[in-house]
Structure 1
Amino acid sequence: MENKEITFSGTVLNGLAMLVLSLIALLGSIGLIIFACVTDNGSCAAAYATTGIVMLIVDIIIMCGFVLIEPGEARVMMFFGKYRGTFTKPGYHWVNPFISVKKLSLRARNLDAEPIKVNDKAGNPVMIGMVLVWKLKDTYKAMFDIDSQTMAQSKPGEVTIGTTAAGIMNSLEQFVKIQADAALRQVAGQYAYDDGEENGSAMTLRDGSDEINKELEEKIDERLAMAGIEVVEARINYLAYAPEIAAVMLRRQQATAIIAAREKIVEGAVSMVKLALDKLSTDGVVELDEDKKAAMVSNMLVVLCSDENAQPVVNAGTLNH
């Protein structure tokens, strides 16, 4: 999108110098008014009083032109409703007092969004939250392309603060929150929570963090570009199944883990049985026919794969009386 922001090119004077001049003018105007009150010459008193009053009025108008800008701040300058540019030079300045000045912050702001409930690609309800870092990039779009001055809604009985500097930034933060929430729902709905049987080897919310965070950042950046807002970073910081299915999904995960462990145990047991049979045959310890090998394999697998400790039965032979 086209950048509509321009740099303010109007008259800017040193604020400290103008402050000294305005104080001198203020003292001079007060002195003239006092002198007019104590003098006995009527015509001179009227002239001194008129001059003093005019100087005082002009001085009050001049004092309305002082602008203090800190690093990371900007002033949107408007002259009778017309945008004249954005002023960002830090310092104490004096500008045309008839220019309307709107204060904005260019500093990075952090949004820690509360987890929201969304449906993943498989239709499972999940709770997902994110953290977002953003800052203003184009002050013109922030001020005039969206309704930032009246978008901040006050509570019943409170004064609306949408036209103040804090109110404008709060309204922009609310705009960011709503758009980021919509982007998060869109991205979360494109992926499954984990790699269930129906998902295969596709990327999931749980294991595709870097790619998904990058896509989330791009989606939010697209939505906030209209407001002149730049996304510095966006990432998912909370991910869990919704409470109503959390217990069921936990049991499914436990079953998957148990099956994987059983497969590993069986694989190891078969290897040990094969090693034992090969060792007995190579060393000639005992000759086993196929039936005895089968019985030995069965017994060893039961011992090695059982959850309980084996209780051996010792064959002591036949008792002769």
Structure 2
Amino acid sequence: MPLDEKLGETCASRRAINHSTFSSSAFHFFDYMISYKYQIDIIRGIGMREQEAWRIDGFIGIGCVALFVLAGFVSLIQAQLLLAVFCFALAAFLATGITIVQPNQAKVIIFFGRYFGTIRDSGLFFTVPLTVRKKVSLRVRNFTSKKLKVNDVQGNPIEIAAVVVFRVIDSAKAVFDVDDYEQFVEIQSEAAIRHVATKYPYDTFEDDNEITLRGNADVISDVLAQELQDRLRIAGVDVMEARLTHLAYSPEIAGAMLQRQQAAAILAARKKIVEGAVSMARMAIEQLDKENVLELDDERKAAMVNNLMVAIVSERAAQPVINTGSLY
């Protein structure tokens, strides 16, 4: 039998059983309020998913409460104590269903230990009485991690920190699928930062195309945001942005790494200077040969190249020397 048909029969049988015993248990009322699709998800073992809770305008609920309170006072005046107690008790019972939702806030409704739904709209509402209502903020929030010490892909100890911009998009997952979603965001963010830091080098002077933590901030931010989204999806959290706020070598190796950076920079600069000097010497010889200014043999060309290389590559200004003799 196909899975959907089997699930449909299961839900139908549950509703039939609940209908036959509705008067014996108040818990069966929930099976009539929960959606068919949500029961399918529960049977399939899918995690919690936000659904809209039943509610009406809160002023209607307040009006009903006021009406029963008034009826209770009238009953007291008429010396009908039992009716007065019943009216007051019913008013108190209905008053438990009145709730206020602030803007950019959601309230997760729990009915006797079972998820009833979520109210996302702001305002005054009346929902099922005797329910527990948990507040979940839907506002955009920032989390700034501590400075973490971790080794990059080359084994160099570095300090790294990041800021994560996130918001809750599924209140049911945030409340029921994790124990504390704020703490979950904090721990998973630090784990993701450590993991991303170990995948890339802090810096490199050998390959300009290699992705580094220092030189490719945008790429690293995108990778970190995707890593966080994969980790926090279970908590119903949407990662809007993730950026590195601190990146440096650890203090114990900062001096040595600075010398290494300086040496690598000097070598890279020397390489460029040598390439430029060779190009200039080649251009000078080719131009002399082309214009037939001088006829130089290999030995004279070698001497000329040597003089040009010394003059260009030297860190100090070359001192001119006049040769009055012959090269031979």
TM-score normalised according to structure 2 size: 0.70
CA contact (8 A) 1:5 1:86 kept: no
**2:56 is aligned with what amino acid?**
L
Deviation of 1:115 (Å):
2.9
Q: Is 1:179 paired with 2:192? A: no
- Aligned in 2, Cα 1:136/1:290: closer, same or farther, shift over 3 Å? closer
Summarize deviations over 1:253-280 as a string: whole Å, max 9, x none: 2222222222222222223333333444
Asked if 1:263 is matched to 2:271, the reply is: yes
Is 2:201 the counterpart of 1:192?
yes
The Cα shift of 1:14 comes to 1.6
User: Contact 2:205/2:265 (CA < 8 Å) preserved in 1?
Assistant: no
Q: 2:71 aligned with 1:62, yes or no?
A: no
| Separation in structure 2 between the aligned mates of residue 87 and residue 68 of structure 1, nearest angstrom | 10
Distance 1:305-1:83 versus aligned 2 partners, 3 A rule: same
- Residue 77 of structure 1 corresponds to which residue in structure 2? 109
Find 1:140's aligned residue among 141, 156, 172.
172
1:247 paired residue among 250, 255, 267:
255
Write out aligned runs for 1:169-248 (5 A): 172-195=181-204, 203-207=211-215, 209=217, 212-248=220-256
Partner secondary structure for residue 203 of structure 2 = coil
CA change 1:6–1:268 in 2 (3 A) is: closer
Decide whether the 8 Å contact of 1:76 with 1:87 is kept in 2: yes
1:280–1:286 CA contact under 8 A, matched in 2: yes
**Pairwise CA distance, 1:124:** 0.8
| Residues 1-321 of structure 1 mapped to structure 2, 5 A cutoff | 2-10=46-54, 12-23=55-66, 26=69, 44=78, 46-47=79-80, 55-148=87-180, 172-195=181-204, 203-207=211-215, 209=217, 212-286=220-294, 288=296, 290-313=298-321
The answer to whether the 8 A contact 2:50-2:170 is kept is no
TM-score by length of 1: 0.72
Structure 2 distance, partners of 1:62, 1:127, is: 57
Q: Is the 8 Å Cα contact of residues 4 and 138 (structure 1) preserved in structure 2?
A: no
- Closer/same/farther in 2, CA of residues 250 and 302 from structure 1, 3 Å limit: same
The residue type equivalent to 1:185 in the other structure is: R
Considering only aligned residues, what root-mean-square deviation do their CA atoms show, in Å?
3.4
CA contact (8 A) 1:195 1:201 kept: no
Give the C-alpha shift of residue 55 in structure 1: 4.2
Q: How far off is 1:183 after superposition?
A: 2.0
Amino acid at match of 2:49: E
**Contact (CA 8 Å) 1:136, 1:228: kept in 2 or not?**
yes
- Per-residue CA deviations over 1:284-311 (Å, capped at 9, x if unaligned) read 5555555444333322222222212223
Greater RCO, 1 or 2 (C-alpha within 8 Å, sep 6+): 1
Counterpart residue identity of residue 318, structure 2: A
| 1:8 CA displacement | 4.5
Paired AA for residue 237 in structure 2: I
Question: In structure 1, what residue type is equivalent to 2:230?
Answer: E
Any stretches of 5+ residues in structure 1 without a counterpart?
37-43, 149-171
2:232 maps to amino acid: L
For the residue of structure 1 that corresponds to 2:273, the secondary structure is helix
Do the aligned partners of 2:100 and 2:124 also contact (CA within 8 Å) in 1? yes
CA distance in 1, matches of 2:104, 2:68: 33
Aligned partner of residue 51 in structure 2, secondary structure: coil
How many Å separate the matches in 2 of 1:276 and 1:62? Answer: 98
Deviations along 1:226-273, one digit per CA (max 9) or x if unpaired, are 333333333444332222222222222222222222222222222333
Distance in 1, matches of 2:182 and 2:226, equals 18
Identity %: 41
Higher normalized helix content (fraction of residues): 2
